[in-house]
A and B are shown apart, each in its own frame.
Chain A
Amino acid sequence: MKVLMFGWEFPPFISGGLGVACYGIVKGLNNNNVEIKLVLPTTGGQKTDLPVEICPADKIVISETYKKKLAQTMSSTTGKEMLSGIISPYETSVSGGDFFNRYQNMINELNIQGKDTILAFTGNYGRDLMAEVFRYSIIGEFLGSLGDFDIIHAHDWLTILAGVGAKRLSGKPLVIQIHATEVDRSGSSINSNIFNIEKYGMEQADRIIAVSYYTKNIIVNKYGIDPHKVTVVHNAVEKKTQLERLGIQKNLDEKYVLFLGRVTMQKGPDYFIEAANLVLKKIKNIRFVMAGSGDMMPRLIERAAALKITDRFHFTGFLNNRQQVERMYAMSDLYVMPSVSEPFGITAFEALLYDVPIILSKQSGVAEVLRGAMKVDFWDVPKLASAIVTLLEDEKLSKEMVESCKHELQDIHWNTASQKIKNLYHSLLFHNSH
């Protein structure tokens, strides 16, 4: 299986959040034996440590033959359709017309130039970003016309047009991965050109990968995309950006210690309450949250009431959608998994995705993998309590712990994320061949 992937940022060339995510995905896919041709605007002559084929757009030579073909397609109906798809029918303002003209001018410019052409790219977010995005789409069409791949994968609006272009000329399925939408970035002052490019790309794509349920929700509700077309694969990102990106505000300005899971004997929620009680005797300005439900709920609610800690110990009940779960993790400052017996404990991984330090019971399988995590015996309540106090009070330690855990987790995580993406490729190819 060979993937034609369009990226924009990529470390070490540019390493923003999008670049870090792309890097993780490419690495993970490579580990999962997926062959990738990664197109980037430019590499600035630098090299990557990944064993994948990197294809800088500013080194691609567009032949005269292809340019002629391109001029034809642009004047053909499909070309016009593509442009009218981007430019909203309601867009009568200067910017809409301007958008269209600039695209046409660029095609014309391309034709005037000599026999073979090399397009210029900075890969920056400069003033002429839109022009660069258009030039990138021409690269996309050109590479698409070569047809030496099975599937196309594009990241965010910058590369969407390139992805769509490649699909248009190759007929191969297109996957678009959305790391952030214009709605996230701009709130109410949305750039309608970017929004339209996103919407158009999402409509043209065969499948969309959203980096969170929150993002999926936006894709479905704000862009009007069929939810069945959208798959969620989480990235690992920084806590602060996560809170901002998810539009989350903590409802109370205090540290939260979280238990999340079924409230049953196996998960050890009773040890969590007892430890909370000890901790609250020492520090007051923190809150404990028990998220989930189960057969032990009534008993634990009565216990918390009897301990008179319900002004600082809260029960959310069952969190009935992923968005609430995301929000809960993102708001938390410490995650405690006091499981009595836990084959693995994926919630510990989830917590780390939101940069939340974790305390695990030695009796959980995940403790084997996360060597850097704080571990206690589930029954050792005083020790659990003092571990909670330590991690809440020593922010440096808790930060280091998260980093070390995430480091251990990184490869595992990107591999699992990439496995999901690979499965998605498979389903697309299988679907298309039948």
Chain B
Amino acid sequence: MVSICFYFQVHQPFRLHKGYSFFDIGANHFYEDETANREICNKVSSKCYIPMNRLLLELIEKHKGKFKVSFSITGVAIEQLQRFNPEVIELFKALADTGCVEFLSETYYHSLAFLFSRPDFKKQVLQHKQMIHDLFGQTPTTFRNTELIYNNDLAKFIEEMGYKTIIAEGADHVLGWRSPNFLYQPKDCYKLNLLLKNYKLSDDIAFRFSNKGWSEHPLKAEKYAGWLHSINGNGELINLFMDYETFGEHQWEDTGIFNFMRKFPDEVFKHPDFSFINPHEAAMHYTPVSKIDVPNFISWADIERDLTAWLGNPMQNSASEMVYALEQDIVKTKDQNLISIWHKLLTSDHFYYMCTKWFSDGDVHKYFNPYDTPFDAYIVFVNVLNDLKETVKNRLKSRAVRKQKKVNQPIPDRSL
């Protein structure tokens, strides 16, 4: 038996006001570009989330429980969908109700918190877990970290948090001669299972599908299923992980992506040994074939498969250090609103916009970047951060003054 495991990533950051300037520091505390966020949410919902959710519902119904997919949806995406496109949430709930859809755990804010603050990382994961439970009635046992950022330490930490399965990129330099098409186990773990993305087959859909310069273009479901079928005998598990926006947003409807998916299960089932599986089931059905050692961080981004899309240049380093340096003071304010504003600044996209790698991955970066240059992105982010710092400073100062006043107040004479 060979199982196909689909996992789709759903994420929308809270984008900041591109015009937030030095003059706004200390004067204007509204950071989000509500208009841009709403417009993008509307666009992606109508092009992708709504038609694709409907298609998946249709396929699950048609194949009577044999077609399965899993999702990881960030808290910030959910918040925006609840605000702008609540019908999308309803469709996700309908998918959850089929019993064929698994929802994974991740950081609520799609953050790099694991690299900067373990306590906050844990908080965000638990916040996300609670949200998934409240919305979809599932308690996730599979974890995926932001942008599939992963190493041995993360796996260990996640195992200690009680998860059964974790997801990572099947990077060449990690796998070496080994195939991603098996279940693995992280080096220092004994219970946790590791699913590695088959990036070649995933990217055939996510990136190459509509590329007319690609020798396999146009990609038909029949041909693609044939490639999967050829793995029979030298693999057990094919992990196809990609952004959900692939369907209808990155690959537009007129590329034929929806028709491809509509036919795909039928083509897969033409081979009797093939089935669909969700991550938590994969961990039950299969046994790890080997341990995988990942001492250094890997991710699913760019050709480097490392952290350089978010961290590494001076701007990214200074911005991330500055924002995480605020953690203690932010927590001290005990103001849930301020804490959530700060958390939203941790979303990895803000650092991605500051990336100065304009080589082979420049096009992808540009596509996702609302700013003209990474320098603009940095300036806006730092301006916002400086305003938040001032707000927090003033809040803590006025609290200290109030406390002082309380101490100095005479004790009322109760005998009167």
Contact = CB atoms under 8 A, between A and B. Distances in A.
Interface of A: 249-252, 289, 297-298, 301-303, 305-306, 308, 310-311, 314-317, 324, 327
B313 A314 contact: no
B389 interface: yes
- Of A250, A297, A302, A316, most B-chain CB atoms within 10 Å: A302
Nearest to A324: B23
Interface of B: 21-27, 313-315, 317-319, 321-322, 373, 375, 378-379, 382-383, 385-386, 389-390
A311 B389 contact: yes
A308 B25 contact: no
Contacts of B321: 308
B315 A314 contact: no
B394 to A, nearest CB: 10
Nearest to A300: B375
A305 B317 contact: yes
A324 B314 CA distance: 29
A315 B24 CA distance: 12
A315 B23 CA distance: 10
A315 B22 contact: yes
Contacts of B315: 301-302, 305
A327 B24 CA distance: 13
B390 to A, nearest CB: 7
Contacts of A306: 314, 317-318
B376 to A, nearest CB: 8
- Of A250, A289, A310, A316, most B-chain CB atoms within 10 Å: A310
A289 B319 contact: no
Given A297-B375, A302-B313, A311-B389, A251 B26 contact: yes
A315 B376 CA distance: 10
B383 A314 contact: yes
B319 A305 contact: yes
A355 B321 CA distance: 37
25 contacts: A249-B27, A251-B22, A251-B23, A251-B24, A251-B26, A298-B375, A301-B378, A301-B379, A302-B313, A302-B315, A305-B313, A305-B314, A305-B315, A305-B317, A305-B318, A305-B378, A306-B318, A308-B321, A310-B318, A310-B322, A310-B382, A311-B385, A314-B22, A316-B21, A316-B22
A308 B314 CA distance: 8
Contacts of A310: 318, 322, 378, 382, 386
Nearest to B21: A316
Nearest to A290: B22
Nearest to A313: B382
A12 to B, nearest CB: 41
Contacts of B314: 302-303, 305-306
Contacts of A314: 22, 25, 382-383, 386
A308 B22 contact: no
B386 A315 contact: no
Given A301-B315, A302-B313, A289 B22 contact: yes
A370 to B, nearest CB: 28
A316 B24 CA distance: 10
A289 B21 CA distance: 12
Contacts of B317: 305-306
